[in-house]
Chains A and B, each alone.
Chain A
């Protein structure tokens, strides 16, 4: 190829090639820095957004740190009837209310269900559970159907028997593409009228109630399940029943000493407030 060229010509040719490639590199380098700048800016924006969201989550929901409960949940208290349980809080200042936002398909809620039941047994007449639906439909495809089934059973007054059974048999129905038959058989097992149960499943009010529960939870800063509120204060879910008991004993003694409840606004009012007072959507 280069046989006919003198040394000088060869040198010039090489110089020219070098310049051309440098030119090309310069062009590419512009594109390259644009790409690097765009991507760096995007990542920076994302980190700021994530930090902002995380900060928002940790913020107390209301100024005094207590949540607002406008929706009626399902009340359970040992040693009294369910109506008495609902009314107990306003009659006695010695009563604590534990609000639980739960997803029936969530394995953690399942593990906490016996703990909560033991707590209620341990504080008869003093501790009231208010169960609220918080189905995580993004990750638990059957959670909404389970909540609907439980609410349908509730119309025949067997709510807590039914959810205990649902938790116990969670492994059977959680992965089913269509769990309806299972839900019907569990309903039969707790002794409700299956014809009425099937009819109640279609009730649009049930779906609305569950959505109201969930929206209230979102307003109160709930993002996962189970989330507990003890007398209106969100608590970090205690890792064991002993610590849970200690927390309740401490709160009870604090209430006894102070003579009056710290947060009279909630949740004592919550159970007596009409359900149509929805928290404002923002």
Chain B
């Protein structure tokens, strides 16, 4: 029987991979919508995402929040400093989008974008640190930032997951229509 650890890691890695495919899809739709504004199918997909962008953001950020808490609280991976900084910018997105949905507030793009762009930059830096630990230095007594806990499919590490989530949130916000 596979252990709990490998089951959770495989599950999160698969979601990340799907997220990356989704992100490429979103980029294509964004471009096509600009270049071919008369295409009805593209327009329809665009509108669905655009009308419900906060719901999508809530789901993405909730998965990222729960995933990161599972890794630290259930699998006992100690989060390093950079992981904490990424959490600082991810968790509020879940809270803000949740509250916005309940109170029918649609003008939250600026908050979501600023949080997720900063988060994306930190995650990007963290990925560089993991793959080029000699060039970028980070020392932490408790948990080393450049430590790679696992790398599914050869490249999906924890910051890659965070990077994917932030990227998805940015892309979905770009669709967003504020009423």
Contact = CB atoms under 8 A, between A and B. Distances in A.
Contacts of A32: 52, 54-55, 101
B51 A50 contact: no
Nearest to B63: A42
A242 B72 CA distance: 34
B14 interface: no
Contacts of A175: 139, 144
Interface of A is mostly: helix
Interface string A130-149: 00000000111100000000
B59 A38 contact: yes
A107 B78 CA distance: 15
Contacts, number: 66
A223 B139 CA distance: 23
B141 A107 contact: yes
B contact residues, range: 20 to 34
A1 interface: no
Interface in B105-132: none
Interface string B43-71: 00000000110111011001100100110
A252 to B, nearest CB: 35
A223 B76 contact: yes
B102 interface: yes
A39 B149 contact: no
B149 A138 contact: yes
B69 A140 contact: no
Contacts of A43: 62, 66
Contacts of A53: 73-74
Q: How large is the interface on A (under 10, 10 to 19, 20 to 34, 35 or more residues)?
A: 20 to 34
A42 B62 contact: yes
Given A35-B55, A38-B59, A39-B62, A50 B147 contact: no
A34 B55 contact: yes
A50 B59 contact: no
Contacts of B11: none
A138 B147 contact: yes
Contact of B133 (A50, A140, A177): A177
A31 interface: yes
Contacts of B77: 138-139
B150 to A, nearest CB: 9
Interface in A12-68: 24, 27-28, 31-32, 34-36, 38-39, 42-43, 46, 49-50, 53
A34 B73 CA distance: 27
Contacts of A49: 70, 74
Best-buried of B78, B80, B101 by chain A (most CB within 10 Å): B101
A31 B104 CA distance: 12
Contacts of B143: 139
A50 B73 contact: yes
Nearest to B51: A28
Given A138-B147, A138-B149, A50 B74 contact: yes
Given A138-B147, A139-B142, A139-B147, A35 B58 contact: yes
Contacts of B147: 138-139, 141
A49 B80 CA distance: 22
Contacts of A140: 144
28 contacts: A28-B51, A31-B55, A32-B52, A32-B54, A32-B101, A35-B56, A35-B59, A36-B58, A36-B98, A39-B62, A39-B98, A42-B62, A42-B63, A43-B66, A46-B66, A49-B74, A50-B69, A53-B74, A107-B141, A138-B76, A138-B77, A138-B147, A138-B149, A139-B142, A140-B144, A175-B139, A177-B134, A223-B76
Rank and list the top 7 A-B pairs by shortest CB-CB distance, nearest first.
A35-B55, A39-B62, A139-B143, A31-B52, A50-B73, A46-B66, A139-B78
Interface of B: 51-52, 54-56, 58-59, 62-63, 66, 69-70, 73-74, 76-78, 80, 94, 98, 101-102, 133-134, 139, 141-144, 146-147, 149
